[in-house]
């Protein structure tokens, strides 16, 4: 059901420990064939099904505050065993927010049932009567055909060139531009199969599914556990090499690249500036490290801190989004350039995606390497950071490399 803000009713919640199911991937096949909710990394996380409450969050600058108020009404009187203080214990809401605050489509969903696994412990939360499950085998989508999204490849290269020119002219320092690709399957696309393929091939990423938005993002926007927070900042990318030697050379070139290092410094500065007012302590590294994934390598930096005033994870998400890693620098100018040049609605791509529990703990990533699934159709997204010296052909190649994540999920 969809719940309006003025008609919220407290949820009857029951959470009980269960035997360790092992890797949560093993549970996907037993979920209903309708799109499940998921947040999985290295076999741990949460998977949910059914719908106890759902709301489409109104667009606008106050959308995160509106969402927190809605959640307070839903979670407010839910009984949560305070003796078990584990993130994800009790009722949780999965959420996806659009990249652009003015775009429609942000959503929060409280599943009727959630199976969670963390640090060797597992538990099941149900709201009301547990939903019946109609189990079916994972379905292959069959033959996949691809077509242009909002822009053709040459048109997108032209947009990149225009953006780089505006950066050289001093209007801004960096802008992140995205493009889309449309995939059409022979049969309806089974989200469970996509999740299984993504989580197995990219176990270090956060594999997610919320209201049709499915993907495996390497970028952790924020994790809140009590007052402790963590973030993983990615900016600066190169495709994997065709051999071990080529792979090492590409990683070394990325680490030494003035363009990519500066792009990364912009992203870290943006996160530091945003989190510092919220934290009593904050730690950022002096140098990035290389994060090597099956399809690309990234410059990565781990950020950690302690919240000063008990803000929920959603409050921190509101403060951080959009980061320089997915918007640009300065942010307001970059968003204006994106709206002018990109030529498409990003929907939830590059927006916050994740979950929050009744204590305000949770994990939220940036919805990268993702696609919007509707029946037999999937709209895939990819992008990259544009600097003044960016080469349009190289940026197109980088986006193509990032598309391969969802193409693999579709094709196997």
User: So which residues are the catalytic ones?
Assistant: 174, 219
Distance CA 355, CA 371 (A): 18
Q: How many CB atoms lie within 10 A of CB 307?
A: 21
CA-based nearest residue to 296, from 179, 213, 175, 404: 404
Cα dist from 231 to 108, 193, 308, whole Å: 22, 28, 16
Distance CA 305, CA 70 (A): 27
Structure tokens at 274: 């945003």
Distance CA 202, CA 207 (A): 8
- Greatest Cα-to-Cα distance within the chain, rounded to the nearest angstrom: 61
* Residues 6 or more apart whose Cβ sits within 8 Å of residue 336: none
At 64, is the secondary structure helix, strand, or coil?
A: helix
Distance CA 247, CA 125 (A): 44
Q: Nearest 10 degrees: CA dihedral of 304, 264, 60, 228? A: 0
Angle between helices 191-201 and 392-411 (to 10 degrees): 120
Q: Which residue has the tokens 């990259």?
A: 384
90 and 13 Cβ atoms separated by less than 8 Å: yes
CA-based nearest residue to 208, from 327, 95, 358: 95
* Residues 6 or more apart whose Cβ sits within 8 Å of residue 215: 198, 207, 208, 353, 367, 368, 369, 370, 371, 405, 406
């Amino acid at each position: 059901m969809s719940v309006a803000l003025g008609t919220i009713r407290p949820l009857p919640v029951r959470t009980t420990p269960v035997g360790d199911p092992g890797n949560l991937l093993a549970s996907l096949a037993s979920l209903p064939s309708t799109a499940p909710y998921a947040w999985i990394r290295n076999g741990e996380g949460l998977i949910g099904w059914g719908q106890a409450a759902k709301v489409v969050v109104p667009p606008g600058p106050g959308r995160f505050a509106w969402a927190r108020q809605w959640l307070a009404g839903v979670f407010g009187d839910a009984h949560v065993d305070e003796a078990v203080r584990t993130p994800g214990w009790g009722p949780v809401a999965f959420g996806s927010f659009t990249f652009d605050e003015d775009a429609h489509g942000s959503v929060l969903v409280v599943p009727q049932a959630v199976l969670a696994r963390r640090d060797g412990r597992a538990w099941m939360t149900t709201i009301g009567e547990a939903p019946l499950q109609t189990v079916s085998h994972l379905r292959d989508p069959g033959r996949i055909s691809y077509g242009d999204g909002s822009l053709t490849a040459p048109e997108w290269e032209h947009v990149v060139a225009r953006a780089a020119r505006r950066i050289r002219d001093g209007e801004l320092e960096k802008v992140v531009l995205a493009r889309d690709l449309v995939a059409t399957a022979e049969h309806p696309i089974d989200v469970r199969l996509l999740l299984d393929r993504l989580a197995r091939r990219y176990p270090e990423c956060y594999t997610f599914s919320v209201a049709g938005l499915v993907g495996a993002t390497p970028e952790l926007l924020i994790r809140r556990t009590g007052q402790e927070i963590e973030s993983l900042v990615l900016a600066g990318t190169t495709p994997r090499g065709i051999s071990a030697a080529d792979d090492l050379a590409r990683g070394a070139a990325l680490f030494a690249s003035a363009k990519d290092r500066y792009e990364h410094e912009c992203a870290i500065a943006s996160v530091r500036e945003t989190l510092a007012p919220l934290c009593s302590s904050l730690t950022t590294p002096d140098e990035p490290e290389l994060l090597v994934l099956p399809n690309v390598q990234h410059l990565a930096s781990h950020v950690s801190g302690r919240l000063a005033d008990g803000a929920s994870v959603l409050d921190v998400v509101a403060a951080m989004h959009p980061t320089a890693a997915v918007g640009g620098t300065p942010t307001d100018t970059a968003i204006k350039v994106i709206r002018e040049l990109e030529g498409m609605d990003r929907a939830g791509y590059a927006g916050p995606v994740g979950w929050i529990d009744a204590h305000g703990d949770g994990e939220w990533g940036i919805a990268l390497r993702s696609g919007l699934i509707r029946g037999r159709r999937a709209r895939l997204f990819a992008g990259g950071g544009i600097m003044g010296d960016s080469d349009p052909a190289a940026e197109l190649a980088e986006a193509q490399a990032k598309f391969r994540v969802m193409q693999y999920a579709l094709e196997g």
